[in-house]
Structure 1
Amino acid sequence: MSDSAQDKTLPATPQRLKKARDDGQVARSKDLLNLAVLGAGSALLMLALPLAFGLLRDGLRGQLRFDRAAVVTPEVGLQRAMDAFGQGLVLYLPLGVVLLVFVLAVAFASGSWTLSTKPITPDLSRINPLSGFGRLFSKQQLVETAKLSVITLIVGAVGWQFLSSHLGDFSSLVMQPLESGIGQLGRWMMAGVAGLMVTVAVVAAIDFPVQKFLHKQQLRMSHDEVKREHKESEGDPHLKGKRRARAREIAQRMSIKAVPKADLVVMNPTHYAVALRYDEATMAAPRVVAKGSDMLALKIRDVAKDAKVPVLQSPMLARALYAHAEIDQEIPSALYTAVAQVLAYVYQLKAALRGEGVMPAEPVPQVPQELDPHYRKPAAAGT
């Protein structure tokens, strides 16, 4: 069964969320941005209104002045137009920049931003009529259509209520002086914009969590998708095993340098070699300083002989140490007795070579059979 046919009931994983964000898919509330544009734009216009009226008055005064210079020199009119355009830029350009910064700040604060070129990358599937027809009836598109319909009805009702309550006052504007009429019209516009802002604020407060919810619903995953993502992130187990084996091999090759510092090398007799070191003052138990198999084991043996490090043939102990002990780590507690026996043999051997005792007999270390990787448990009778 394909992923598309399965119920996607699992929440999106952090990796899925990150990939969606890299692709430009984030929860974005258009109504929240509309509120930011409307609110910040209205506030900036209110603050800049005295300056704007002053610039507009001066501009009109200059444009409506006709003198001999304007008639004789046509370039004067063009210069005046350019001056008026420059005055407009001085006012509107800073307002636009401040508004843009505010809208970007709202987008950052709400998490509705991402740095991605994926949304603007050409994609032929976006112009596929069948895909487009399917998106028209998607859950998110149906919610968006219903939301726009409700907003249109609410804004229309608010606008109609405002106009109907001020219809008589609008008709009386023509009877008022120009200055007071413009002031009254400005107050009415402020009231109308304030009502519109309240409406958009209520819609944005509802729409923002709804868009978050729909975004999470859209990114939900099936069990197979989670398993496949986990496998991709963790890597193929066979490849991981090969990488670990390669890392162990490199560590074993590097450990040969520590063989001259070892107290003893245990061999099997050519397949495995493990170099041990024990310092009673600094170590709680003997440590493995080097180990290897086959050719590497022979190399450890040769280095040990050149450094006059004792080499003991003990196949079962060598196999157990190679299988259960790691380089630069203490030996397993189950092998303490066996290693103590061989270390005691080494110390007695060194003392005998110095003429301080008799030559000891080679020990037979007591190694638990279950620690020997070559040990096979006998089959039960009757099976």
Structure 2
Amino acid sequence: MHLKLDLQYFAGEKTEKATPKKRQDARKKGQVAKSSDVNTAILLFFVFIILLVIGQSLGNTMTGMYSKSFTEYIHLAVTEEQIFEMFLDFTIQIGIALAPIMLIAIVAGFASNFLQIGFLFTSEPLKMKLSKIDPIQGAKRIFSVRALVELVKSLLKIIVVGIITFSIIWMNKDEMIMLYDKNVTSAMAFFGSMTIQMGLAAAIALLIISVIDYAYQRYDFEKQNRMSKNDIKDEHKNIEGDPLIKSKIKERQRQMAMQRMMSQVPEADVIITNPTHYAIALKYEESKADAPYVVAKGVDFVAVKIKDIAKHHDIMMVENRPLARALYAQTEIGQVIGEEYFQAVAEILAYVYRVKKKIK
């Protein structure tokens, strides 16, 4: 009994990692490995850090506002102008007091996003899609593994934050009982300090959870974007068949060929010119070829470039219009010149060598 395996069946399984193009396409759609919990944890941490730094100043501002309300504003006449002035004063004071917190929150939000996905702006996720309101797709999302993970994560966060809150309250219970013997300022300072302790502890705990969640999000992203061998083959076919990409590849190849050719010009023995439209760089190296060969050639702009490089490297240029045109038309780069041009080129090289010898 013989078992036959159809390898085409396995070719359809998504076992391969996503290609760079697949990742780029997903990124354009806003599909990236990202954990919103990282944003929340970093935001909370830095907000409570800034509260720890400016907490006393913020408390003094709030106390001053209450004091001013009951010492100055209470004696003012209740008019539209007075109410507007009082509202404007309170708004400015609150704005100044909260400005550092708002600023650090904005910076932390941008920084946490940048750390995870870099700079990314796309409107693709905001577009209306029928799949978003499809009840079948919605049911699949509700009962998916991702939904279960999100549920477990939410319960874990509630439990952790609850334990942290209870623990800090329990540790400070004795001082809380004695608050009846303290003034309002001391009580506010105590509750402010305890709130910051809770916030920082919760932020650190959430940061640990968010790191684990980010690792899961990366794993899930890689899993969702896996490709089959057929997908990769189809992608390659599409890329190769794209006229724009083809033209870019050809342009890049032309640029690289031009750079290679220009890098050989300083090695030439002589440049034969038209003199304006054609330039042919020749080299004779007995160990490489039995006759002179072309190392670079060009017309118009390329010819000007060849001549500029030749001038910079003190390579002699000889004007011979018929020879320049003939060599350009009949000889490729790296190719030895034809026998019919041996005599003319030999005379030119002999002249060049004599001049170089005199200069030396």
Give the shorter-chain TM-score range. 0.5 to 0.7
2:284/2:293 contact within 8 Å kept? no
- How many aligned residue pairs are there? 280
- The residue number in structure 1 matching 2:263 is none
- The residue number in structure 2 matching 1:162 is 168
Q: TM-score, normalised by structure 1?
A: 0.60
**Residue 82 in 1 paired to residue 88 in 2?**
yes
Residues 128-277 of structure 1 aligned to structure 2 (within 5 Å): 128-235=134-241
Q: CA deviation at 1:222?
A: 0.9
Bigger drift between 164-173 and 213-222 goes to: 164-173
Q: CA deviation at 1:226?
A: 0.7
Could you say if the C-alpha distance between residues 74 and 150 of structure 1 is closer, same or farther in structure 2, counting changes exceeding 3 Å? closer
Q: Determine the C-alpha separation between the residues in 2 that align with 1:130 and 1:37.
A: 36
Could you say if the C-alpha distance between residues 345 and 34 of structure 1 is closer, same or farther in structure 2, counting changes exceeding 3 Å? closer
Q: Determine the C-alpha separation between the residues in 1 that align with 2:74 and 2:96.
A: 29
Q: Give the AA of the match of 1:125.
A: S
Could you say if the C-alpha distance between residues 52 and 329 of structure 1 is closer, same or farther in structure 2, counting changes exceeding 3 Å? same
**Residue 11 in 1 paired to residue 7 in 2?**
no
Q: CA deviation at 1:186?
A: 2.6
Q: Determine the C-alpha separation between the residues in 2 that align with 1:21 and 1:39.
A: 28
SS at match of 2:16: coil
Q: Determine the C-alpha separation between the residues in 1 that align with 2:342 and 2:170.
A: 108
Q: Give the AA of the match of 2:57.
A: L
Could you say if the C-alpha distance between residues 220 and 146 of structure 1 is closer, same or farther in structure 2, counting changes exceeding 3 Å? same
1:29/1:211 contact within 8 Å kept? yes
1:69/1:76 contact within 8 Å kept? no
Q: CA deviation at 1:344?
A: 7.8
Cα shift readout 1:81-130 (whole Å, capped 9, x = no counterpart): 22111211122234312320122122212336522111122223212222
Cα shift readout 1:213-262 (whole Å, capped 9, x = no counterpart): 2211111111111111111112279x97xx99xx9xxxxxxxxxxxxx9x
SS at match of 1:27: coil
Residues 35-114 of structure 1 aligned to structure 2 (within 5 Å): 35-65=41-71, 70-71=76-77, 73=79, 75-111=81-117, 113-114=119-120
Q: Determine the C-alpha separation between the residues in 2 that align with 1:112 and 1:225.
A: 27
Q: Give the AA of the match of 2:38.
A: L
- The residue number in structure 1 matching 2:129 is 123
Q: CA deviation at 1:198?
A: 2.6
Q: Give the AA of the match of 2:65.
A: G
Q: Give the AA of the match of 1:343.
A: E
SS at match of 1:227: helix
2:42/2:207 contact within 8 Å kept? no
Bigger drift between 217-226 and 47-56 goes to: 47-56
Q: CA deviation at 1:174?
A: 2.5
SS at match of 1:9: strand
- The residue number in structure 1 matching 2:335 is 330
1:63/1:81 contact within 8 Å kept? no
Q: TM-score, normalised by structure 2?
A: 0.64
CA RMSD of aligned residues (A): 4.3
Q: Determine the C-alpha separation between the residues in 2 that align with 1:72 and 1:162.
A: 45
1:70/1:77 contact within 8 Å kept? no
Q: Determine the C-alpha separation between the residues in 1 that align with 2:203 and 2:96.
A: 27
SS at match of 1:43: helix
Percent identity of the aligned residues?
Answer: 24
1:24/1:119 contact within 8 Å kept? yes
SS at match of 1:122: coil
Could you say if the C-alpha distance between residues 344 and 41 of structure 1 is closer, same or farther in structure 2, counting changes exceeding 3 Å? closer
Q: Determine the C-alpha separation between the residues in 1 that align with 2:64 and 2:283.
A: 95
Q: CA deviation at 1:287?
A: 6.1
- The residue number in structure 2 matching 1:343 is 339
Q: Determine the C-alpha separation between the residues in 2 that align with 1:281 and 1:164.
A: 91
Unpaired runs of 5+ in structure 2?
1-6, 254-271, 273-280, 298-321, 324-329, 344-360
The structure in which a higher percent of residues are helix is 2
Q: Determine the C-alpha separation between the residues in 1 that align with 2:34 and 2:108.
A: 16
Q: Determine the C-alpha separation between the residues in 1 that align with 2:196 and 2:52.
A: 9
Unpaired runs of 5+ in structure 1?
248-260, 262-276, 291-306, 309-324, 332-338, 348-383
Q: Give the AA of the match of 1:53.
A: G
2:45/2:204 contact within 8 Å kept? no
Could you say if the C-alpha distance between residues 166 and 118 of structure 1 is closer, same or farther in structure 2, counting changes exceeding 3 Å? same
- The residue number in structure 1 matching 2:312 is none
Q: Which has the larger radius of gyration?
A: 1
2:13/2:228 contact within 8 Å kept? yes
